[in-house]
Structure 1
Amino acid sequence: MDLGLRGRTVIVTGASGGIGRHLARAFAAEGAHVVLTYHHTPDVAELVAKEIGDRALVTAYALDDPDSAHALVDAALAWTGRIDVLINNAVHWGATAPDPDASFEAVPDEAWLRVVRANLEGAVRLSRLVAPAMRERRWGRLIHISSSIATDGMAGSEYYAAAKAALHGFSRSAAFSLGRDGDILSNVVMPGLTRTDTNAHIIGPEGDHYGSLAPIGRLLDAPEIATPVVYLASAANTGITGQVIRVTGGS
C-alpha cells in the first residue's frame, strides 16, 4: 500500500525518546522529510537523523517554551516550505517520578501546574502554529500521542492524566474545525505500557506480569506503536478523524 507520505514534511516531537525515534524512522521509511526534535538528548536525535540521511532535520524543542515552538515551525518551513504532519509525541513527566503512595493534594502547585501546562499547552500551541500551513494546502494530519493512563488512571499520575485527557477533547473539536478546510485530520493514539529503551527500568521484572493481562499476552514494542501512527498520519487514511485509538495489545 502506498501511504502517500513521500516528499511530505513530518514533525516528530520528542524524537529522541523511546517511541519517538521509532516514529521518525517509520516516517523516513515512507520517504517523508522528518523534523526530529529533542530536549535533553541531542546526541540521540543526531544518531537517528544520521540513519535517515538528508531527509532529516534536527532541532531543539521544549514543550513549555513558546519561543522554541515558533523556532521549530519556522525551521521546518524554511527547510521544505511545508508542514504536512505533526506528531505531538514529546512529554513532560515532571521533576520527580510518580509516587503512587503520595496524596495528589500534597503535590506543590508549581509542580502539578507545570505538568498540566507543559503537556497540554505544548501540544495545543504547536498544533495552532502548524494549522495555517495545513489549511493553506488543504491537507494535513495531527496525531497526539497520549497514554492509557488518561482513561484507565494510575495513582500518582493524576495531573499527567488530566493533561492527556484534556488533549483528547482538543483533538476531537479540532477535527471539526480543520475538516472544514480540506483533508485535514486530527486523532489521538493512546499507547499502554510499552517496551522501549527509555522505560526499561520502569518495566523491569514486572513487564511479563503486565503483559499477561493483555489479550495478546505481552506488552507492545515501540515499533508496534509507530505503525498505526504512520497509517493515521498518511494519505491512505481518509476517514478516521476525531478519534482516540487505543494501541495497547487489547488491554
Structure 2
Amino acid sequence: MDLGLKGRTVIVTGATGGIGRHIARGFAAEGADVVVTYLHARDEADRLVRDLDGRGLAVRYALGEPGAATALVEAATARTGRVDVLVNNAVVWGMGAPDDERPFEEEPGDAWRTVLRANIEGALDLTRAVAPVMRRHRWGRIVHVSSVAAVNGMAGGEYYVAAKSALHGFSRSSAYSLGRAGDILSNVAMPGLTRTDRNGAIVDAAGAQIAAHTPLGRLLDAAEVANAVVYLGSAANTGITGQAIAVSGGA
C-alpha cells in the first residue's frame, strides 16, 4: 500500500526513545523527510539521522519550554517549507513505578505540576505552532501518542495519566476545527506496555501478567506501535479522525 508520504515533512518528538525511533524510521521508509527531536541524547539523534539516509534532521526540543515549539517548527519549515505531519511523542514522566507506595497526594507540588504542564501545554503548544502551516496547505495529520493507562488507569501515574487524558479531549475537539480547514486529521494512539530496548526491567516485572490479559497473549514491540502511528499520519488514512485508538494487543 502506498501511504502517500513521499516528500512529506514529519516532526517526531522524543525520537530518541524506543517507540519514537521506530516511528521516525517508519516515516522515512515511506519517503518522508523526518525532523527528529531530542532533549539530551544528541549523539543518539545524530545516529538516527544517519540511519534515515539523508531524510532526517535532528533538532533539540524541550517539551513545554517557552519558545521551543516555535523554534522547532521554524527549523522544519526552513528545511522544506512545510510541516505535513506532527507526532507528539515526547513525554515528561512523573511518579511512575507501579509498586510505589507513596500516596499521590504526597508528590511535591513542583513535581506534579511539571508533569501536567509539560505534557499538556507542551503538546498543545506544538500543535498550535503547526496548525497554521497545515491550514495554509489544507493538508495535515496530527498523532498524539498517549497510553492505554489514560483509559485503564495506573497506580503511581496519576498526574501522567491526567495529562494524557487531557490530550484525548483536545484532539477530539481540534479534529472538528482542523477538519473544516482542509484534509487535516487529528488522532490519539494509545500504546500499552510495549517492548523496547530501554524498558526491560518493567517488562520483566509486569510484562507476563499484562500479556496474559491480552487477546494476543503477548506484548507488542515498538515497531508494531510505530506502524499504527505511521498509518494514522499518512495519506492512506482518509477518514479516521478525532479518535483515541488503543495499540496494545487488545488490552
TM range (shorter): over 0.9
Paired AA for residue 168 in structure 1: H
Report the equivalent of 1:124: 124
Q: Deviations along 1:11-36, whole A, 9 cap, x unmatched?
A: 00000001000000000000000000
Report the equivalent of 2:158: 158
CA–CA distance in 2 between the matches of 1:206 and 1:188? 24
Report the equivalent of 1:187: 187
Is contact 1:101-1:155 (8 Å) kept?
no
TM-aligned CA deviation for residue 174 of structure 1: 0.3
Report the equivalent of 2:134: 134
Is contact 1:100-1:154 (8 Å) kept?
no
Q: How does 1:24-43 map to 2 (within 5 A)?
A: 24-43=24-43
TM-aligned CA deviation for residue 153 of structure 1: 0.6
Is contact 2:64-2:125 (8 Å) kept?
no
3-state SS in 2 of match to 1:217: coil
| Unaligned stretches of 5+ residues in structure 1 | none
* Residue 172 (1) aligns with residue 176 (2): no
Report the equivalent of 2:231: 231
Paired AA for residue 108 in structure 2: P
* Residue 52 (1) aligns with residue 20 (2): no
CA–CA distance in 1 between the matches of 2:205 and 2:87? 31
CA–CA distance in 2 between the matches of 1:129 and 1:206? 38
* Residue 217 (1) aligns with residue 217 (2): yes
Q: Residues 179 and 240 of structure 1: is their aligned pair in 2 closer, same or farther, counting only changes over 3 Å?
A: same
Report the equivalent of 1:5: 5
CA–CA distance in 2 between the matches of 1:45 and 1:162? 29
TM-aligned CA deviation for residue 205 of structure 1: 4.5
State the identity as a percent. 62
Report the equivalent of 1:14: 14
| Unaligned stretches of 5+ residues in structure 2 | none
CA–CA distance in 1 between the matches of 2:239 and 2:24? 24
3-state SS in 1 of match to 2:67: helix
CA–CA distance in 2 between the matches of 1:234 and 1:72? 21
CA–CA distance in 1 between the matches of 2:171 and 2:80? 26
TM-aligned CA deviation for residue 66 of structure 1: 2.2
CA–CA distance in 1 between the matches of 2:136 and 2:207? 45
TM-score by length of 2: 0.97
Paired AA for residue 198 in structure 2: T
Paired AA for residue 48 in structure 1: L
Matched pairs, number: 250
Report the equivalent of 2:201: 201
Is contact 1:12-1:24 (8 Å) kept?
yes
TM-aligned CA deviation for residue 211 of structure 1: 1.2
3-state SS in 2 of match to 1:165: helix
TM-score by length of 1: 0.97
Is contact 1:147-1:164 (8 Å) kept?
yes
Is contact 2:146-2:190 (8 Å) kept?
yes
CA–CA distance in 1 between the matches of 2:66 and 2:126? 9
CA–CA distance in 2 between the matches of 1:126 and 1:9? 15
CA–CA distance in 2 between the matches of 1:9 and 1:76? 8
TM-aligned CA deviation for residue 40 of structure 1: 1.7
3-state SS in 1 of match to 2:156: coil
Paired AA for residue 199 in structure 1: N
Report the equivalent of 2:106: 106
3-state SS in 2 of match to 1:164: helix
TM-aligned CA deviation for residue 244 of structure 1: 0.3
Paired AA for residue 139 in structure 1: W
3-state SS in 2 of match to 1:49: helix
Which 4+ runs in 1 deviate beyond 4 A?
none
CA–CA distance in 1 between the matches of 2:126 and 2:242? 18
Q: Deviations along 1:216-240, whole A, 9 cap, x unmatched?
A: 0000000000111111111111110
CA–CA distance in 1 between the matches of 2:131 and 2:206? 41
